[in-house]
Structure 1
Amino acid sequence: MSEALRGFAPAKVNLTLHVTGRRADGYHLLDSLVAFADVGDGLSVSPGDALRVTGPFAAGVPTDDTNLIRRALALAGQPRAVTLTKALPHPAGIGGGSSDAAAALRLVGADPGVAALLTLGADVPVCMGARAARMRGIGGAVDPVTLPRLHGVLVNPGLAVPTGAVFARMATADNAGHGDLPHWPDATALTDWLSAQRNDLETPALAIAPGIADVLSALRQAGASLARMSGSGATCFGLWPSRIAAEDAAQSMARGGWWVQACSLF
Structure 2
Amino acid sequence: MADGLSRLAPAKINLFLHITGRRSPGSDQGGYHELESLVVFAQAPHACDRISVAPAEALSLRIDGPQAGDLSDGDDNLVLRAAHLLQPMNLKTGHERGAALTLSKNLPVASGIGGGSADAASALHCLRALWGIEIDDDTLGRAALKLGADVPVCLFGRAAMMSGIGETLQPMPALPAFWLVLANPGVALATKDVFAALNGQLGPPQPFERRPASAADLAILLRARRNDLEAPARFLAPEIDPVLAALKAQAGCMLARLSGSGTTCFGLFATEREADFAARNLARAYPKWWVAATAAG
TM-score range, shorter chain: over 0.9
The one of 176, 185, 191 equivalent to 2:213 is 185
Structure 2 equivalent of residue 130 of structure 1: 157
Match of 1:248 among 277, 281, 285: 277
Question: What SS does the corresponding residue of 1:105 show, helix, strand or coil?
Answer: helix
Q: Is the 8 A contact 1:4 1:44 kept in 2?
A: no
Question: Is 2:73 aligned against 1:63?
Answer: yes
| Structure 1 position 27 matched with structure 2 position 32 | yes
Q: Distance in 2 between matches of 1:169 and 1:45?
A: 38
Unpaired runs of 5+ residues, structure 2, are 25-29, 91-97, 129-134
User: Is contact 1:123-1:139 (8 Å) kept?
Assistant: yes
Which runs of no fewer than 5 residues in structure 1 stay unpaired? none
How much identity, in percent, do the aligned residues show? 47
Q: State the Cα distance separating 1:250 from its structure 2 match.
A: 0.6
- Asked if the contact 1:230/1:236 (under 8 Å) is kept, the reply is yes
Cα distance, 1:173 vs structure 2: 3.2
Secondary structure of 2:50's aligned partner: strand
Q: TM-score, normalised by structure 1?
A: 0.95
- Is the partner of 2:11 in helix, strand or coil? strand
Over 3 Å counting, the alpha-carbon distance change for 1:225 and 1:75 in structure 2 is same
Report the TM-score when normalising by structure 2: 0.85
- Indicate the structure with greater helix content: 2
Q: Distance in 1 between matches of 2:2 and 2:262?
A: 40
The match for 1:263 is: 294
Partners of 2:164 and 2:63 lie apart in 1 by 32
Partner deviation per Cα, 1:217-263 (whole Å, 9 max, x = no partner) = 00001131100000002000001111111010011111132001111
1:6-62 deviations in Å (ceiling 9; x for gaps) = 110000000000000112221111000000002200121110221111100111221
Cα RMSD of the aligned pairs, angstroms, is 1.7
Does the 8 Å contact 1:153/1:237 carry over to 2? Answer: yes
**Cross-structure match for 1:204:** 232
Q: Residue 231 of structure 1 corresponds to which residue in structure 2?
A: 260
Q: For the structure 1 residues 176 and 44, does the alpha-carbon distance in structure 2 shift closer, same or farther, using more than 3 Å as the test?
A: same
Aligned 8 A contact 1:3 1:46 in 2: no
Aligned pair 1:73/2:83, yes or no?
Answer: yes
Seen in structure 2, the aligned counterparts of structure 1 residues 199 and 218 have a Cα distance that, compared at 3 Å, is: same
Q: After TM superposition, give the deviation of residue 189 of structure 1 in Å.
A: 1.3
Residues of 2 paired with 1:30 and 1:175: CA distance? 9
Superposed displacement of residue 187, structure 1? 1.8
For residues 148-206 of structure 1, give each alpha carbon's deviation from its aligned partner in whole angstroms, at most 9, with x where no partner exists: 22201000101122211211122543311124541112222112101111000000111
Candidates 203, 214, 223, aligned match of 1:175: 203
Aligned length: 266
Alpha-carbon contact 1:4-1:46 (below 8 Å) kept: no
